[in-house]
Amino acid sequence: MLHDLMFRLRTLFRRPAAENELDDELRFHLERQIAKYVSSGMREEEATRRARLEFGGIDQVKDECREARGISFLETLVQDLRYGARTLLRAPAFTACAVLTLALGIGANTAIFSVVNSVLLNPLPYPNPQELLAARQNDSRPNLKDIQRQTSSFAASGGVNIEPMDFTGNGEPVRIHAAYVDAGLLQTLGVQPMLGRWISDDEDVKGGPGNVVVSYPFWRDFLGSDVHILGKGIRLSGNSYTVIGVMPSDFHLPKEPADVFVSLWVAYPEAAPFRGVHFMHTYWRLKPGVTLAQAQGDIAQVDRRLAEQFPDTEKARGTILIPLHDWLVGNIRPALLILFGAVGLVLLIACANFAMLLMARAVARQRELMIRASLGARNSRLIRQRLTESTLLSLVGGAVGLLVAKLGTMFLIALKPAALHHFHTIPMDARVFAFVFAISLLTGLLFGLLPAWSASRGDVAEALRENQRVTGIGRSRSFLRSFLITAEVALALILLAGAGLLIKGFLRLRSVNPGFNPANVMTMYLQLPATRYPEIPSQTNFRRDLLARINALPGVETAMISDIPLSGNFVDHRVVIDGRPTPAVGTEPEVQTLAVMGDYFRLMQIPIRAGRDFVATDREGQPLVAVVNQAFVSQYLPGQNPIGTRIDWTRTGERHKWMTIIGVAADVKQSGLNQPVDPAIYSLFSQSDEQWRRWMTLVIKSRSPIAELVEDVKKQVWSLDSQIPISDIQSIDDLTAVSVAQQRFNMLLLGIFAALALALAGVGIYGMMAYRVNQRTHEIGVYVALGAQRRDVLRLVMKEGVMLALLGIVLGLAGAIALTRVMVSLLFDVKPTDPPTLIGVALLLGAVALLACYIPARRALGIHPMAALRCE
């Protein structure tokens, strides 16, 4: 064994010497044999001829000797690589084409794989993430605590609700995201603060101390990375809090943006004890060894108990636990997997082109290969040489592909799809590199093997005979070529169909009427601090003054609403309708409630379908009024005149404060363009008794530039109260864009892949046709000499390509009908087998194929019969 290894190494290192020795040894043998024949009376030439004939292929014997010496594998590889690199460099156009084709295919795949890797494959940044669960439904703090106490499946549980807070440090007041938490949250996630400590259980109680834990970015940006910050005070929404901890830089909550963490009991004592306030996301950590099913059964029992105990609010319980990772990526997973599949098809098309390039090149190199074969090189040896070459190409393609992928991921991030919101960069880790290496290697071997294998069959003599006029390049090879063309056309059609469907769905989505006119409207979000505006009258005064001041700006009109359309935000209330039998407690209809002030409907151009709009005299001290939307009427007051009907929220132990419906407004999309419109009630801020609804969104209409206007409006806000932060400044057009961002992302990506596929398929067909025309120059020349017309020549040449393309299109249509079904969840208002789309993309692909056939065919028209015959 040791001897064997030493021997191999020695031969490897003294390679040139060993080669010379082999040469010498074999030459000596030949000379000796010739001498023997001469001495037996043969003539010199005859002796030489005979000896050589007996010896056989010298190259082959050498090969076998090298193999016998065990130098073959590494040695041959080095040799083949050197040889391959030299030949590739000698054909720069071919090499560039092949590398570019593969780089596009591999690069696009790698980019998508990087996303799949960071979103779907990477584990969550918490210890033992497989133990973490999330509840699908929000819950209240009392319920969370009861469940934790009454079950045995969970090691820990915690809840969080994100609320805006104002941080008033040195400069302008800033609106930040505060996480209202309970003490169990951090134990559940299993993370420790970087500095100081987390909120303890005995601080997380009614009247607990005003302690705050801050995030790393908040500590860095607003507290100057002060390492002595612990124990110091900061002001949040008018109250003073003591900093007790700083979280590590890589910590974030599973889903929620959070700058500071405060106890729910401390920051929001009004809501903390209420069982019916289901507003916390809850997270659960399983005890080791407990299964999801056990935990689910455990929690279901408590749910039943709570429903019996508290029928008023807990009747409809049914907590569903899901693994945290699924909860986080569940929405994006189908889209990502479909994109990954689509980009895989692009790679297949690129590979088909790559294989065809190799085949065309094999024909150009036929003479070289034949010479080597006739010198005794074995078939397996030639195949191996060509595989080395194709793998070399594909690895270079993969390296360039990495570059493409890097640019690609930057582009993906720039698209800002909602699901990639938390990702600022998409890292390329070891797994991504392994992926690139693996697919490059596989591509080179697999798609290099096809043409190499099909070219190597058939014996040399036949090939030699054929060489003079290469008409039929072996049946197997022309079959392979036809197969590749058909396959890539079919794959391209599937991609085009998918992209077409997404584009159509997107256009449908964009053309959905949101119910208002977003032109020239800008919005800003404000929230009044509870400390200075505890009651409705003070809030109303601020609001009214603010509207008056902004309306006084030249050319500016403004109104306000609690939550703007398309934001997905609203407050749900259960309502009762006067004169109707009261439904059982907890089963009253639940509707969206929105508060407005000012000329909101006119400004947003939301038509009033019946009755009247709010007017200035509808205000505090006057009869309570409401406007409902059409969905409300059709669902709860069908066939009735809604005007004059009285409604109110459900109230326990309080007298009703009936509101009279005075008007019906047209439906407005509150949750997103692809969401249905739910019943909604508009009431007046000034007539509200909900002093907790302290937030508002200004809608401002103006023709002057936004930037200028923003400054003017801010000045007006701060002239009333300099401690109020302003946030979410955007035009409503932006909001529309955000609401379709995910669809746009899907459509753009699949569109790009389809365009890439179309281009690759077009190039593939073109390449094949150009090659065939070249090959058939002689035949065409004869044809023309025999009196064929232009039309005949065109038909002769184009027939093959067009037939293959048609076959590919038909197969592709079948494939598309079978495959686009997986896209249903991504499509808006389009069936996956939408005939116009399928026909459209088939026509588009057909046109491209026709063009790709026509250009080389036109060249065939220029063939002069004499020249063609002479080219023999």
Partner 1 sequence: MPSRSVDLPQGTLDLLILRTLSLEPLHGWAVAERIQQISSDVLRVQQGSLYPALHRLERRGWIKARWGTSENNRKAKFYELTRAGRRQLEVQRDAWEKLTAAVTQILETA
Contact between 671 and 717 (Cβ < 8 Å): no
- Residue among 62 and 532 whose Cβ is closer to partner 1: 62
Q: What are phi and psi of 528, to 5 degrees?
A: -85, 135
Task: Name which of 374 and 730 has its Cβ closer to partner 1.
Answer: 374
CB 378, min distance to partner 1, A: 12
Rounded least distance, CB 51 to partner 1, Å = 9
The pair of three-digit structure tokens given for residue 614, joined into one six-digit string: 């709010």
Which residues fall within 8 angstroms of residue 162, CB to CB, at 6 or more apart?
177, 178, 179, 180, 256, 257, 258
Q: Which is nearer to partner 1, 3 or 228 (CB)?
A: 3
Query: Taking the complex as a whole, how short is the minimal distance between the CB of residue 47 and partner 1, in angstroms?
Result: 14
Cβ closest to partner 1, residue 67 vs residue 588: 67
In the complex, the smallest distance separating the C-beta of residue 77 from partner 1, rounded to whole angstroms, is 19
Classify 177 as helix, strand or coil.
Answer: strand
Helix, coil or strand: residue 747: helix
CB of 29 to partner 1, least distance (A): 5
Q: Are 348 and 47 in contact (CB under 8 A)?
A: no
The two tokens of residue 219 are 């500590």
Residues 6 or more apart whose CB falls under 8 angstroms from that of 215 comprise 246, 247, 251, 252, 258, 259, 260, 261
CA 781 to chain centre: 53
The secondary element (H helix, E strand) that includes residue 162 is strand 154-167
- In the complex, the residues that contact partner 1 under the rule CB under 8 A are 3-4, 7-8, 21, 24-26, 28-29, 31-33, 35, 54-57, 60-61, 64-65, 67-70
Q: State which residue, 54 or 590, has the beta carbon closest to partner 1.
A: 54
Residue closer to partner 1 (CB basis): 35 or 519: 35
Q: Two tokens at 110? A: 């790698």
| One-letter identity of residue 456 | S
Which residue, 29 or 651, is less far from partner 1 as judged by CB? 29
Integer angstrom CA distances of residue 32 from 19, 58, 316, 464: 20, 16, 102, 33
Q: Which is nearer to partner 1, 9 or 615 (CB)?
A: 9
Closest CB to partner 1 among residues 36, 82: 36
- Work out how close the CB of 63 gets to partner 1 at its nearest, in angstroms, rounded to a whole number: 9
- Whether the Cβ atoms of residue 487 and residue 447 lie closer than 8 Å to each other: no
**Rounded Cα distance, 749 and 339, in Å:** 8
Helices 790-819, 777-785: inter-axial angle, 10-degree rounding: 130
Which of 353, 398, 359 has its CA nearest to residue 756? 353
Residue type, 852: A
CA atoms within 13 A on the CB side of 734: 11
Residue 35 Cβ vs partner 1, minimum distance, rounded to whole Å: 7
Nearer to partner 1, 61 or 861 (CB): 61
As a 3-state breakdown, the chain gives helix, strand, coil percent values, each rounded to 5, of: 55, 15, 30
Q: Which residue has the tokens 């929220």?
A: 649
Structural tokens at position 50: 């005979």
Nearer to partner 1, 5 or 785 (CB): 5
Are 214 and 259 in contact by the 8 Å Cβ rule? The answer is: yes
Helix (H) or strand (E) holding 659: strand 659-665
Q: Which is nearer to partner 1, 5 or 403 (CB)?
A: 5
| 612, 600 Cβ separation under 8 angstroms | no
